[in-house]
Amino acid sequence: MSETVPVTVPVTASEAGPAPVPSRPALHDVALDRERMRRRRLLRLTVALAVVELWVVLRSLAGAPVLPPMPHVDPLVMVPVLFFVVLILMLVGTQVGASRSPHVVYRPEQVDVTLDDVIGIDPIIEDVRRSIDLFWTHRRFADQMGGTPRRGLLFEGLPGTGKTMTAKAMAAEAGVPFLFVSATSFQSMYYGATARKIRSYFKALRKAARTEGGAIGFIEEIDAIAMRRGGLFGSVATEQAGTLPGVGGTVRHAIISEGTGGVVNELLVQMQSFDEPMGGERLMGRLLDAVNLLLPSDRRLRRRRPRRAPILLIAATNRADSLDPALLRPGRFDRRLTFPTPDAHGRRALVDHFLARRAHEPELDDPTLRDRVAAATNGWTPVMVEHLLDEALVNALRRGAETMSFADVEHARITELVGIGHPVTYTPAEQQLIATHEAGHAVTAWLVAPRRNLEVLTIVKRGAALGMLAHDDCEEVYTQSHDDLSALVQIAMGGWVAEELFFGGTTTGPASDLAAATRTAAQMVGAAGMTGSLVSLAATGKDVVEAVLADSRARDRLEQVLDEARSTVRRLLAGNRDLVEALRDALLERHELIGDQITDVLEAARAAREGESPAPHAQPAAAGHLRIA
């Protein structure tokens, strides 16, 4: 049998192609530290076991017992001694327990979320990944490049935007322990206990970082312990100014809360303590200090520089403006990330992500319907979108199905937007009045704001409203023009004018509509410069409506905007009484119209007036902020 010998054929540079791109190192600084400390722990355990084994062998060779004999103690003496020992331990344990850190430690394998599960905030996730890369390479960044590693991240944003979830995913991605704590759990009724708990937490964070090669700490709702120092009023604004009787000038922060200031001071100090020596390093430092006291200055021993601890502290809050400014400076919270509500693309990704885990009918696999769901949830947080689909599953369960449909999603969305209906028995006259009022809103919106989508028109009591029109933008917009705001004022006036035209007078029903019209018109007059004057009353720091009503000339312009809107709506509804009547009759018959049902009635009424057959109407997907009229 012949033997096969492998032959190596040389390959030239031209035949080999382009050189491979250098890959990222397999082990980063955190992994190297973890491996180094693992080997050190194994070495210590081996030495300890070897000493124990040597002791056993020597005692056996000497013919002596391995353990020394226990002395005989009289039970009458032992019982009171044990009693007092237990009593002392209980007292000490109470004090130690009151100062114990309330955090919970999650191992990387215990965290069931990753950064791939955080959907809809791609720019934030990209910055978070850069922070993780910097955390991994902290030693190279500091020692070789001379930089200062990032130590703190502040997550701010509305509730439900994914701050806590992102922090957990960072710990899982970095492969280090995650020390979670709620800021309210630091608080204690005993003076000084809050500061001791904060010290204990940071001590546990430093210990975990040195033991595991790195650690990530997370403080939920940090504003509970990090409010702006300066008293009760200091937490509301950056600076409160006032005058005291008999004292000239300005007094700032006249009220001081010692307790709040002490807690914030302790937090500030601890955020600078990440590189403090611990345990053996501290003991060795004290021994060297004692020895150096006996040595001349030129022969003193140098203390070992404490090793830099790879620690990343993350804090989350919904009120970043109320935090103490000293926390936000570089060196403490180096990076401030604002978690926004997802845009249309982010919401579409969320819908895909959540529907992949929930039973749904095949119609919801249609990209068009998914786009409609994403467009109709403008301004919603990821938690709200997830809750919407959960409520849709509840609706499916109520009708006896095991999968949700698009109708279930729409029903859940309408319920979330305008609340649950509470049928009320109206008198015939009152029911007709409410139906006419709401029809006036809807007809005005249909005529003056073609870019707005009519969502719900109802005379069923929802919340505090006896009836309502819910409408929003057809497209996702971030600014509003003069025409847009004027249309909103006119829509708010629609109910008032309808009552006046059809009943010869008005009731208390339009009170909330007039308030909404006044607020919108005040924005036009006092903030947006849309009525001739460019002076912004918002610069006064007061509420815009209050500032406009307090200024005589601004109030005159406000009255003019409202009068012009009322005149315009009166002219429109007087020329389209048939549309109001048609919508009123449909409301009296069905009590609630949703989406296409509203526009179908209006199209049919207009076609009947012109003697034409109504064209099929395709309702655009809603994508704006919902307004109630």
Q: Is the pLDDT of residue 9 over 60?
A: no
Output the DSSP codes for 387-451. HHHHHHHHHHHHTT-SSB-HHHHHHHHHHHHH--B------HHHHHHHHHHHHHHHHHHHHH-TT
> What pLDDT sits at residue 7?
37
Q: What average pLDDT does the segment 259-275 reach?
A: 79
Beta bridge partners of 469: 457
Give the separation between CA 498 and CA 432, rounded to whole angstroms.
Answer: 12
Query: What percentage of the chain carries pLDDT values higher than 90?
Result: 22
Whether the model clears a pTM of 0.75, i.e. scores above it, the answer is no
Q: What average pLDDT does the segment 181-189 reach?
A: 85
- Which one of 316-330, 403-417, 488-502 scores highest in mean pLDDT? 488-502
What DSSP state is assigned to residue 100? S
Give the separation between CA 365 and CA 501, rounded to whole angstroms.
Answer: 48
Give the separation between CA 419 and CA 540, rounded to whole angstroms.
Answer: 36
Is domain 428-628 classified as CATH 1.20.58.760? yes
Q: What average pLDDT does the segment 266-280 reach?
A: 80
273 or 253, greater pLDDT: 273
Q: Can you give the residue ranges of every domain in the chain?
A: 30-52+94-230+257-276+308-339, 344-418, 428-628
> What pLDDT sits at residue 490?
93
In total, the chain counts a number of residues equal to 629
3-state SS assignment for residue 469: strand
Q: What average pLDDT does the segment 468-478 reach?
A: 76
> What pLDDT sits at residue 492?
92
Q: Is the pLDDT of residue 2 over 60?
A: no
pLDDT in tens, 131-145: 888 888 877 877 778
> What pLDDT sits at residue 614?
53
Q: Who's near 336: CB < 8 A, 6+ residues apart? A: 153, 154, 156, 320, 328
- Contact assessment for residue 308 and residue 139, using Cβ atoms and an 8 Å cutoff: yes
Kindly provide the b/e burial profile for residues 54-77, where b requires at least 16 CB atoms within 10 angstroms of the residue's own CB. eeeeeeeeeeeeeeeeeeeeeeee
Contacts 24+ apart (CB under 8 A), 568-571: 568/448, 568/490, 569/440, 569/444, 569/448, 569/490, 569/493, 569/494, 569/497, 570/497, 570/500, 570/501
- Contact assessment for residue 215 and residue 176, using Cβ atoms and an 8 Å cutoff: yes
User: What mean pLDDT, rounded, does the chain reach?
Assistant: 81
CATH class of the structural domain 30-52+94-230+257-276+308-339? alpha beta
pLDDT in tens, 324-366: 888 888 888 888 899 988 888 889 999 999 999 999 999 999 8
Q: Who's near 182: CB < 8 A, 6+ residues apart? A: 102, 219, 220, 221, 224
Instruction: Using pLDDT thresholds of 50, 70 and 90, give the confidence band for residue 194.
Output: confident
Give the separation between CA 235 and CA 264, rounded to whole angstroms.
Answer: 13
Give the separation between CA 347 and CA 370, rounded to whole angstroms.
Answer: 10
> What pLDDT sits at residue 112?
84
Kindly provide the b/e burial profile for residues 300-326, where b requires at least 16 CB atoms within 10 angstroms of the residue's own CB. eeeeeeeebbbbbbbbbbbebebbbee
Least confident of 69-83, 149-163, 286-300, 594-608: 69-83
Instruction: Using pLDDT thresholds of 50, 70 and 90, give the confidence band for residue 13.
Output: very low
Which CATH number applies to 344-418? 1.10.8.60
pLDDT in tens, 99-128: 788 888 888 888 888 888 888 888 888 888
CB count within 10 Å of CB 241 equals 12
pLDDT in tens, 390-413: 999 999 999 898 899 988 898 888
- Which one of 88-92, 206-210, 348-352, 479-483 scores highest in mean pLDDT? 348-352
> What pLDDT sits at residue 232?
43
3-state SS assignment for residue 106: strand
- Contact assessment for residue 622 and residue 376, using Cβ atoms and an 8 Å cutoff: yes
Residue 117 CB-density burial (10 A; 0-12 exposed, 13-18 middle, 19+ buried): middle
Q: What average pLDDT does the segment 34-46 reach?
A: 87
Q: Is the pLDDT of residue 231 over 70?
A: no
Query: What percentage of the chain carries pLDDT values higher than 70?
Result: 86
